[in-house]
Chains A and B, each alone.
Chain A
Amino acid sequence: MDNEKLGTAIVITSGKGGVGKTTTSANIGTGLAALGYSVVVLDADIGLRNLDVVMGLENRIVYDIVDVVQKNCRLKQALIRDKRHEKLYLLPAAQTKDKTAVSPDQMVELIGDLKKDYDYIIIDSPAGIEQGFQYSIAGADRAIIVTTPEISAVRDADRVIGLLEANELHDPKLIINRIRPDMVKRGDMMNIEDILDILAVDLIGVVPDDESIVIATNKGEPIVTEERALSGRAYRNIVRRITGEEVEFINLEADEESKLSKVFKLIFGK
């Protein structure tokens, strides 16, 4: 490594499970690496490791985060280099331990070490607000909250916003995931304004519900590098906003229409 860096650690959290934290972590990490930054994505979900499969790196794991913390190996030995991006690394969670295996203090130390060598540390937090949440936010400089337009996910996001504030992690950013423009249009799904109205945080991205994410995850290739996918574009915009760039939000409803009109054109040749 060259000179000592001073990287930024960002925790991806939600409270509720199943809203897309891991997919978001993988895409943000990969997207930042694609822009040329050096990145470590850290799976903090000890006992329920998953970031490895989402990134397609599950076959390369030798050591994990608990090995690092317990000094069974050096930090560099546990980092797995990504298949496509040279400056992207995964620090996997342990699968056979539980969330008592790492303390907040150990996490602060670990992330402090990583920040010396990498531009961004993306921490994929476990669901819930117990121990796992506590240690995963311990070393973070910033927080991104992932929610979906469902009442349960928004409620939990609100709880997490309060907890982050209580832990002195201020000004979290929000990602609204899996929005369905067709349902929003019908009035059967809360729209972006509805959710922002309730949560009172800044928005950093909106990701549409997209089949190509499922397909990409099946293959272990984050969608962010998929040029044509709308969700990929949404993630690329989020990544650019993280680096401080101002990027306009995609008008998903307009996009829905244009997609439809394209289909019409194909069918009717208009």
Chain B
Amino acid sequence: MDFFKLFTKKQEKSKNVAKERLKLVLVHDRSDLSPRFLEMIKTDIIKVISQYAEIDEAEIDIKMTKMKKENNESPVSALVANIPIMKVKDKK
């Protein structure tokens, strides 16, 4: 069977390889948030958290990353936020 395939299977056109690879890479490229969008998210997060705690705004780090799940499937996009809290506000 394999032997037979050797002669019958046509070599895949390299342009199709290129197109498939491009499609895959663009799925990931496009899933990233734009810096402007990230900045908007950051502003909103600061607004919400500030109601409950004093935060160090200069040290806030928010970014998009790719994370692998435990079952080791293809990586998924994740929003990672590191927000240093200086003091929790008193709750009334």
Contact = CB atoms under 8 A, between A and B. Distances in A.
Chain B binding surface, main DSSP class: helix
A151 B16 contact: no
Interface stretch (A5-13, A153-161, A205-213): A153-161
Contacts of A159: 29
A184 to B, nearest CB: 8
A151 B22 contact: yes
B29 A188 contact: no
Contacts, number: 40
A190 interface: yes
B22 A155 contact: yes
Interface in B14-71: 14-16, 18-19, 21-23, 25-26, 29-30, 34, 36-37
A191 to B, nearest CB: 7
A155 B25 contact: yes
Contact of B19 (A158, A163, A190): A190
A183 to B, nearest CB: 8
A197 B23 CA distance: 10
Given A190-B19, A194-B19, A166 B36 contact: yes
B23 A151 contact: no
A69 interface: no
A189 interface: yes
B13 interface: yes
B14 A198 contact: no
A158 B32 CA distance: 13
Interface of B: 13-16, 18-19, 21-23, 25-26, 29-30, 34, 36-37
Interface of A: 150-151, 154-155, 158-159, 162-163, 166, 184, 186-191, 194, 197-198
The 3 closest A-B pairs by CB, nearest first: A187-B13, A190-B15, A151-B18
